[in-house]
């Protein structure tokens, strides 16, 4: 075996080891950072399995469920599978302030954990940017939207 | 009328591409010189049909012809003209149509540039590119046809997504990304031609390099503009979220960057040929994967696009390209024999090799985190995603390694460096790096990763500036040239070297900006009544009042703020919420006060008009602006490197010389 061939074998061996190490670290890291993407209905169906891991809960903000605390820094609301009443929903406590377009009935994704008290503690709140439009109803306009997050009890539109 | 014309033109493009692809590949394999003329004709026809189809769509959009399916989907009489034109690429079908046009322009430009070359290589390359064109034309004609007829014709449409008409960046960011994505077709065609022929000469390699640099530049600009847009429009205070759509643009950029570096080794040492060609194939595959991820709705991402029918079509195409690439590499790859050796351990080529391995590792980890959820869902039905911490934890060490290698590589000579050379080359830059860390510590900055980044940035920047200054000094001393003349001459005599170092300086800027803005962010929220104020860092923010306004396509509510900075200077700022007539959700516009070293970033969270009050999210992001201010460096450096050298502009006999006789490019003179 010439020294060139030997060097080549050593190089390939080192590459394989490095590649395996990278894959091992990457998969390990990924396993720790997996985020489950559930709707409230799906999450509740998981039972106790839903307690603990990071979850991205996707749904719509249930009308009439928005509440700010007095200092206006903590927010609670319910995320439901859909707009219709009676759809499964989960109470969310958000510590992070929501993005500016956050409001009732908007599609949201909240990231956080669920626990035995049936409360979802969220540390990340995202609004879905959709390409799909709902046609506005007659009379829709900024005046009707004053009922944004600051006036949660008002009937949304 | 528009529907019929558009569909006809798309079908014409499909025919032209199919014809040209068959003639090109067949003619290239059989070395038929006469076939090139026919393929050039097909390319021209493809271009004219695609441009015609796009103009037809723009015309339909501008004249509000709601009988056309796509216009009914994104058009609106209330939208300003510029956004009406822009809505050509604001939704799925239109953007694919626009891609077709860009593809045609690229293929045409390539055909023009190489029409006098020995015909075999251009034939194979053009045939391959047109085969990709067949796919896109098929997509436009079938699954993603924007020219479908709507009946009954609606009186008005919903208008483009309000988020996309909220900022002027949206006018330039997507075309830049598309130019980057679609442009990767050209290096793919060139690389496939090299594999089909089983040889990769110097001239064809130079062609491959140049045509990779062009889309790479657009991709870089597109990515930076995209992060700027996210920062300036979305109002969550960030610029990069490891969203699948962002990753989709980042992945081909990574392999493209690796290619640009390994191409230098290929050029100097005539080795790493197969690796370099594989990187070209990978870049194209990743752009197709990216297109699939962005445009098929498989991801429920923050950027979610509509569910569409094109997913399976794309997947089939992706699979076909993957299989073709692997077969070509396996069967024809061994023909690309290395003609040289790598140098010693401490050498330019070894550091570039390391750089390539780090880029490959980064590509692998980002790809894994992006695609794993799809695979898992396909097999087990469980919907998961991979959290940003995974990406950060993996990417940060690899990024730091890249920054380090950026200082090491240019310091080392090609071939073999003696220990004395190594010591001499590294002493000053390393000292600068340490000094930067000490100054930062003295200034009270903490955080190991940020300090490490700053130190390495000082190291890499010193090396880069020194490498740029050295030839200038030599010219001044030996030729007695004045400074500016020496700078100009040394830069233009080694364009790629100089341009590459300018880009390196831009990358150093991005590294510093990302580290600083991530590590030293200050955040607060507050609710104010008129006259009340809150303090954030050196800024005092006072609410003046709420104001309403009306524009043709939207109404808005702004919170007028008086911001006073540390030196007592007033800055009026007004974060707004916009209400679009045709969209039910309000869209915010953050207000940003940019200074050289920090941004104050304010968003309106909520408001009440009686009694008036408003809630705000407020951040201070140190140095975040440096990310986008690096753009001129990227653009200037890449343009400077890609600028045709004088000896290339010559036409006629010189171009018909056999491939291997071409003189080495002067850019190689390092």
pLDDT at A136 over 50: no
Q: What are the C-alpha distances in Å from B312 to residues B97, B309, B412, B435, B465?
A: 18, 7, 48, 56, 50
Omega of the bond leading into B152 within 30 degrees of 0 (cis): yes
The gap from C-alpha B423 to its chain's centroid, in whole angstroms, comes to 37
Give me the percent of chain B exceeding a pLDDT of 90. Answer: 47
Q: Measured between beta carbons, which residues in chain A are less than 8 angstroms from residue B304?
A: 128-131
pLDDT of A27-82, one tens digit each?
A: 888 888 888 888 888 888 888 888 888 888 888 888 888 887 766 667 888 998 88
Q: What is the pLDDT of residue B196?
A: 92
How close is the nearest chain A Cα to the Cα of B547, in Å?
Answer: 13
Question: Which one of B163, B364, B385 has the shortest CB-CB distance to A22?
Answer: B364
- Under a CB-based contact definition with an 8 Å cutoff, are residues B155 and B579 in contact? no
* Answer CATH for A36-146 from 3.40.50.2000, 2.40.50.140, 2.60.40.1120, 2.40.10.10: 2.40.50.140
Task: Give φ, ψ of B563 to 5 degrees.
Answer: -100, 130
- Under a CB-based contact definition with an 8 Å cutoff, are residues A108 and A40 in contact? no
Buried b (16+ CB within 10 A) or exposed e, A85-121: eeebbbebbbebbbbbbbbbbbbbbbbbebeeeeebe
Buried b (16+ CB within 10 A) or exposed e, B250-285: bbbbbbbbbbbbbbbbbbbbbbbbbbbbbbbbbbbb
d(Cα A133, Cα A117) in Å, to the nearest integer?
A: 36
Question: Which one of A33, A35, A106 has the shortest CB-CB distance to B585?
Answer: A106
Residue A101 touches partner B, C-beta closer than 8 Å: yes
Task: Give φ, ψ of B625 to 5 degrees.
Answer: -60, -20
**Top-confidence residue, B361 or B615:** B361
Question: Which one of B306, B383, B556 has the shortest CB-CB distance to A131?
Answer: B306
Could you tell me if the ipTM is greater than 0.95? no
pLDDT category at B650 given cuts 50, 70, 90 is: very low
pLDDT of B487-507, one tens digit each?
A: 998 888 888 999 999 999 999
- Under a CB-based contact definition with an 8 Å cutoff, are residues B269 and B373 in contact? no
Residue B582 touches partner A, C-beta closer than 8 Å: yes
Where are the domains positioned within chain A? 1-32, 36-146
Give me the percent of chain A exceeding a pLDDT of 70. Answer: 72
Q: Measured between beta carbons, which residues in chain B are less than 8 angstroms from residue A30?
A: 368-369, 372, 386, 390
Contact A134 B393 (CB under 8 A): no
Mark which residues 422-481 of B lie under 8 Å from A by CB: none
Question: What stretches of B321-468 adopt beta strand conformation (E)?
Answer: 384-386
d(Cα B598, Cα B410) in Å, to the nearest integer?
A: 31
d(Cα B270, Cα B414) in Å, to the nearest integer?
A: 13
d(Cα B160, Cα B170) in Å, to the nearest integer?
A: 12
Contact A145 B369 (CB under 8 A): no
pLDDT category at B362 given cuts 50, 70, 90 is: very high
Average pLDDT over chain B, rounded to an integer? 86
pLDDT of B27-85, one tens digit each?
A: 999 988 889 999 999 999 999 999 999 999 999 999 988 889 888 888 888 888 888 88
The gap from C-alpha B325 to its chain's centroid, in whole angstroms, comes to 23
d(Cα A78, Cα A86) in Å, to the nearest integer?
A: 12
- Under a CB-based contact definition with an 8 Å cutoff, are residues B241 and A126 in contact? no
Range B477-488 average pLDDT: 89
pLDDT of B546-582, one tens digit each?
A: 988 887 777 888 999 999 988 888 999 999 888 876 5
d(Cα B556, Cα A100) in Å, to the nearest integer?
A: 13
pLDDT at A148 over 50: no
Q: What is the DSSP letter of A135?
A: P
Q: What is the DSSP letter of B230?
A: I
Helices B273-295 and B348-380 pack at an angle, to 10 degrees, of 40
Contact B555 A142 (CB under 8 A): yes
Q: What is the pLDDT of residue B69?
A: 86
pLDDT of B368-419, one tens digit each?
A: 998 888 888 778 777 777 888 899 989 999 999 999 999 999 988 888 888 8
pLDDT of B203-228, one tens digit each?
A: 888 899 999 999 999 999 999 998 99
pLDDT of B140-155, one tens digit each?
A: 998 888 898 888 888 8
Residue B419 touches partner A, C-beta closer than 8 Å: no
Residue A118 touches partner B, C-beta closer than 8 Å: no
pLDDT at A101 over 70: no
Buried b (16+ CB within 10 A) or exposed e, B76-115: beebeeebbebbbbbbbbbbbbbbbbbbbbbbbbbbebbb
pLDDT at B466 over 90: yes
How close is the nearest chain B Cα to the Cα of A137, in Å?
Answer: 9
Poorest-pLDDT segment among A8-12, B91-95, B135-139: A8-12
Q: What are the C-alpha distances in Å from B243 to residues B104, B250, B326?
A: 30, 10, 28
Range B333-338 average pLDDT: 78
pLDDT at A14 over 80: yes
- Under a CB-based contact definition with an 8 Å cutoff, are residues B308 and B296 in contact? yes
Exposed/middle/buried for residue B427 (C-beta within 10 Å: 0-12, 13-18, 19+) = exposed
Characterise B31 by phi-psi region: left (phi > 0), alpha (psi -120 to 50), beta (else). Answer: left
Q: What is the pLDDT of residue B389?
A: 85
pLDDT of B517-540, one tens digit each?
A: 989 999 888 888 899 999 998 999
pLDDT at A84 over 90: no
Exposed/middle/buried for residue A4 (C-beta within 10 Å: 0-12, 13-18, 19+) = exposed
d(Cα B609, Cα B92) in Å, to the nearest integer?
A: 39
d(Cα B99, Cα A47) in Å, to the nearest integer?
A: 47
Range B470-477 average pLDDT: 90
pLDDT at B311 over 80: no
Residue B212 touches partner A, C-beta closer than 8 Å: no
Q: What is the pLDDT of residue B526?
A: 86
Residue A72 touches partner B, C-beta closer than 8 Å: yes
Residues 6+ apart with CB under 8 A from B278: B329, B333
pLDDT of B229-252, one tens digit each?
A: 888 887 777 888 888 888 989 999
- Under a CB-based contact definition with an 8 Å cutoff, are residues A128 and A103 in contact? no
Please state the three-class secondary structure of B265-289 as a single string.
Answer: HHHHHCCCHHHHHHHHHHHHHHHHH
Q: Measured between beta carbons, which residues in chain B are less than 8 angstroms from residue A135?
A: 158, 582
How close is the nearest chain A Cα to the Cα of B608, in Å?
Answer: 6
Question: Which one of A32, A71, A128 has the shortest CB-CB distance to B304?
Answer: A128
Contact B386 A56 (CB under 8 A): no
Contact B383 A38 (CB under 8 A): yes
Q: What is the pLDDT of residue B666?
A: 40
Omega of the bond leading into B611 within 30 degrees of 0 (cis): yes
**Top-confidence residue, B584 or B347:** B347
By DSSP bridging, strand B554-564 and strand B598-609 are unpaired
Q: What is the pLDDT of residue A67?
A: 82
Q: What is the pLDDT of residue B653?
A: 41
Q: Measured between beta carbons, which residues in chain A are less than 8 angstroms from residue B305?
A: 131
Mark which residues 283-302 of B lie under 8 Å from A by CB: 300, 302
Q: What is the set of domains in chain B, with CATH numbers?
A: 1-159 (1.20.120), 418-493 (no CATH), 522-626 (no CATH)
d(Cα B347, Cα B419) in Å, to the nearest integer?
A: 11
Residue A24 touches partner B, C-beta closer than 8 Å: no
Q: Which of A46, A81, A100, A150 to probe by mutation at the B interface, max B CB count within 10 Å?
A: A100
Contact B603 A140 (CB under 8 A): no
Concatenated DSSP letters for A36-48? Answer: EEE-HHHHHHTGG
**Does the predicted model carry a pTM greater than 0.90?**
no
d(Cα B134, Cα B132) in Å, to the nearest integer?
A: 5
- Under a CB-based contact definition with an 8 Å cutoff, are residues A66 and A75 in contact? yes
Buried b (16+ CB within 10 A) or exposed e, B335-356: ebeeeeebbeebbbbbbbbbbb
- Under a CB-based contact definition with an 8 Å cutoff, are residues B572 and B566 in contact? no
Q: What is the pLDDT of residue B667?
A: 38
pLDDT of B591-612, one tens digit each?
A: 999 888 999 999 887 777 777 8
């Amino acid at each position: 075996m010439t020294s060139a061939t030997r060097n080549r074998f050593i190089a390939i061996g080192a590459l394989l080891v490095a590649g395996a190490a990278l894959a091992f670290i990457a998969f390990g890291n990924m396993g720790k950072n997996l985020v489950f993407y559930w709707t409230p209905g799906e999450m509740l169906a998981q039972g106790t399995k839903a307690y603990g891991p990071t979850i991205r809960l996707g749904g719509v903000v249930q009308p009439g469920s928005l509440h700010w605390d007095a200092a206006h820094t903590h927010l609670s609301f319910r995320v439901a599978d859909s707009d219709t009443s009676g759809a499964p929903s989960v109470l969310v406590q958000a510590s992070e302030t929501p993005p500016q377009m956050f409001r009732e009935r908007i599609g949201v994704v909240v990231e956080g954990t669920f626990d035995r008290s049936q409360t979802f503690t969220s540390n990340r709140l995202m609004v879905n940017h959709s390409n799909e439009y709902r046609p506005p109803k007659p009379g829709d306009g900024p005046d009707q939207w004053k009922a944004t997050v600051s006036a949660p009890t008002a009937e949304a539109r | 009328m528009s529907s019929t014309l558009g569909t006809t033109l798309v079908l014409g493009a499909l025919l032209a591409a199919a014809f040209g692809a068959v003639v090109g590949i067949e003619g290239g394999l059989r070395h038929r010189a006469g076939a090139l003329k026919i393929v050039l004709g097909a390319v021209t026809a493809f271009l004219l049909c695609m441009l015609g189809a796009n103009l037809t769509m723009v015309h339909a959009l501008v004249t509000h012809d709601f009988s056309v399916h796509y216009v009914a989907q994104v058009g609106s009489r209330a939208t300003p003209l510029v956004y009406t034109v822009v809505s050509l690429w604001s939704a799925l079908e239109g953007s694919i149509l626009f891609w077709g046009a860009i593809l045609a322009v690229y293929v045409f430009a390539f055909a023009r540039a190489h029409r006098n070359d020995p015909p075999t290589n251009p034939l194979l390359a053009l045939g391959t590119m047109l085969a990709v064109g067949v796919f896109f034309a098929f997509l436009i004609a079938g699954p993603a046809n924007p020219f479908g007829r709507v009946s009954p014709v609606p009186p008005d449409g919903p208008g483009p997504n309000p988020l996309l008409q909220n900022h002027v960046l949206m006018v330039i960011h997507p075309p830049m990304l598309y130019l980057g994505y679609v442009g990767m077709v050209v290096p793919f065609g060139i690389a496939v031609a090299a594999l089909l022929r089983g040889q990769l000469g110097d001239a064809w390699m130079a062609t491959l390099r140049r045509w990779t640099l062009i889309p790479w530049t657009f991709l870089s600009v597109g990515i930076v503009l995209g992060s700027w847009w996210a920062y300036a429009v979305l109002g969550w205070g960030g610029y990069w979220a490891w969203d699948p759509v962002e990753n989709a643009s980042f992945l081909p950029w990574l392999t493209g960057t690796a290619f640009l570096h390994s191409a230098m080794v290929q050029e100097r040492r005539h080795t790493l040929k197969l690796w370099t060609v594989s990187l070209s194939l990978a870049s194209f595959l990743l752009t197709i994967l990216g297109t699939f991820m962005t445009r098929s709705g498989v991801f429920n991402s923050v950027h979610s696009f509509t569910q569409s029918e094109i997913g399976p079509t794309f997947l089939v195409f992706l699979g076909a390209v993957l299989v073709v690439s692997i077969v070509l590499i396996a069967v024809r790859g061994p023909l690309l024999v290395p003609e040289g050796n790598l140098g010693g351990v401490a050498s330019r080529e070894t550091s570039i090799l390391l750089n390539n391995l780090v880029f490959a590792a980064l590509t692998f980890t980002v790809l894994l985190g992006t695609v794993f959820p799809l695979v898992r869902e396909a097999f087990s039905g469980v919907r998961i995603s991979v959290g940003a911490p995974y990406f950060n934890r993996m990417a940060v060490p690899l990024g730091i390694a890249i920054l380090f290698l950026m200082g090491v590589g240019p310091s080392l000579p090609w071939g073999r460096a003696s220990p004395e050379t190594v010591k001499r080359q590294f002493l000053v830059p390393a000292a600068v790096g340490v000094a930067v860390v000490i100054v930062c510590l003295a200034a009270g900055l903490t955080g190991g990763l940020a300090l490490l980044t700053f130190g390495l940035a000082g190291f890499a920047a010193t090396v880069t500036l020194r490498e740029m200054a050295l030839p200038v000094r030599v010219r001044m001393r030996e030729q007695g040239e004045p400074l500016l003349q020496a700078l100009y001459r040394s830069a233009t005599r080694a364009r790629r070297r100089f341009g590459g170092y300018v880009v390196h300086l831009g990358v150093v800027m991005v590294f510093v900006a990302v580290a600083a803005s991530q590590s030293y962010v200050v955040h607060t929220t507050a609710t104010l009544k008129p006259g009340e104020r809150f303090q954030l860092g050196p800024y005092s923010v006072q609410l003046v009042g709420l104001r309403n306004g009306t524009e043709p396509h939207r109404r808005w509510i702004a919170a007028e703020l008086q911001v006073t900075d540390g030196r007592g200077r007033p800055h009026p700022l007004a974060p707004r919420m916009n209400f679009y007539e045709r969209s039910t959700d309000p869209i915010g516009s953050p207000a940003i006060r940019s200074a050289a070293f920090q941004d104050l970033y304010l968003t309106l969270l909520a408001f009440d008009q009686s009694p008036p009050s408003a809630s705000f999210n407020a951040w201070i992001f140190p140095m975040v602006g440096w990310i986008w201010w690096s753009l001129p460096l990227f653009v200037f450096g890449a343009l400077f490197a890609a600028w045709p050298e004088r000896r290339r502009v010559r036409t006629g006999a010189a171009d018909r010389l056999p491939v291997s006789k071409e003189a080495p490019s002067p850019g190689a003179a390092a």
